[in-house]
Amino acid sequence: MKKRYAKLLTLLIAAILAFGMVACGGNSGGDKVKIGISMPTKSLQRWNQDGDYLKQKFEAAGFAVDLQYGGDNVIAEQVAQLENMITGGCKVLVIAAIDAESLTEVLAKAKEAGIAVFAYDRLILNTDAVTYYSTFDNVEVGRAQGRFIEEALNLKTAAGPFNMEIFTGDPGDTNAFYFYKGAMEIMKPYIDSGKVVVPSKQVEQKQTATADWSAGNAQARMENLISSVGYGPTSGKKLDAVLCSNDSTAQGSITALTAAGWDASNIPVITGQDCDKPNVTYLMQGLQTVSIFKDTRTLAEQTVKMVIQHLNGEKVDVNDTETYNNNVKNIDSFLSNPVPCTKADIQAMLFDSGYYSWDDPELAEAAALR
């Protein structure tokens, strides 16, 4: 009798331990819950960082990870990769979509297979398969950029008028809409009153969009504006501000402006986002005024936490249930906080925090300016 009870107790303990380890991602037999991570491209620094952070944190939590990049923003490639993840046994998909409206069919297959879908920093539209959304407060990113221009030009009290141009993001990225929306909350009253003028008359989001968030596309458009509007660093029409939604559009704008003769002494106020390494150098050089810092380590940690909570059947941490509607339903979301970073903030925000190291060869030029 005692042997029988001992055997039953041993089996019960083994079952409890196995359940606990599966809930955390792995088990003693080596089988692990598989997470599929789909990032849009390797051509932008931030998506390389996001993919690496997510993979590291999921693996540290005991999961197996299938990390894929959609070529250079190739929609068909991302769809094919997701199909392989679905048939390959992934229990959760974490997706930063190339195009918000192109995943409806493949995610219907994920839902049918019982796979949870976490939209990562880009809302996925027109599907009921999205389970949760983890992102930054993207409207606040735009507001922060608008407020920075407002303060830098002293718009509340200065007479003006001031000339500004606008560079937004890829029209297939839902975030581009939210960045634009937040920025226009601050800037539109000044545009409507005439205190801020957009000489190109390109104000609407579709007029200011930058395909693929490409620095090259932004550069070409800025070169065209310099020529067509007649902007000049010392003569011609003065350009006071360039509202750039992210760092790659800022990179393109800065390249065009410096090639045309602007330097740190007369370059317009230029915003950005992500604190990409080239832009850290621009900030140190005085060529870019601000970049909105979004610590992707925080976003990755929060996403992993939400996935574990979901798999364990626990209440998932969200702090927004109303802002993000994907045309089918409101998506329960967690919004992390973005923070403006200027030259004065770089050391504490980016280096003391361990986000970057001054020993990084890609930051050698910036390091020399310390």
Give the mean pLDDT per block of 10 residues along the chain (370 residues).
41 39 42 95 90 96 97 94 97 96 97 98 96 96 98 97 98 94 98 98 98 97 98 96 98 98 98 97 98 95 97 97 95 96 98 96 96
What pLDDT sits at residue 66? Answer: 98
Predicted TM-score of the model (pTM): 0.83
**DSSP alpha helix (H) spans, the chain:** 2-24, 45-60, 75-87, 104-112, 138-152, 174-193, 205-208, 215-225, 247-259, 277-285, 296-311, 346, 364-367
Q: Are 186 and 241 in contact (CB under 8 A)?
A: no
CB of 331 within 8 A of CB of 119? Answer: yes
Output the pLDDT for position 30.
Answer: 55
357 DSSP assignment: -
- Residue 46: the pLDDT is 87
User: What superfamily would CATH give domain 138-293+340-367?
Assistant: Response regulator (3.40.50.2300)
Say how far apart CA 45 and CA 275 lie, in whole Å.
10
List every span in the chain annotated with CATH 3.40.50.2300. 32-127+295-336, 138-293+340-367
State the first-to-last Cα distance of the chain, in angstroms, to the nearest integer.
76
The CATH superfamily label for domain 32-127+295-336 reads: Response regulator (3.40.50.2300)
Cα–Cα dist 27/63, whole Å: 10
Residue 116, pLDDT score: 98
Q: CA torsion, points 267, 268, 272, 277, in degrees to nearest 10?
A: 10
The confidence score (pLDDT) of residue 15 equals 38
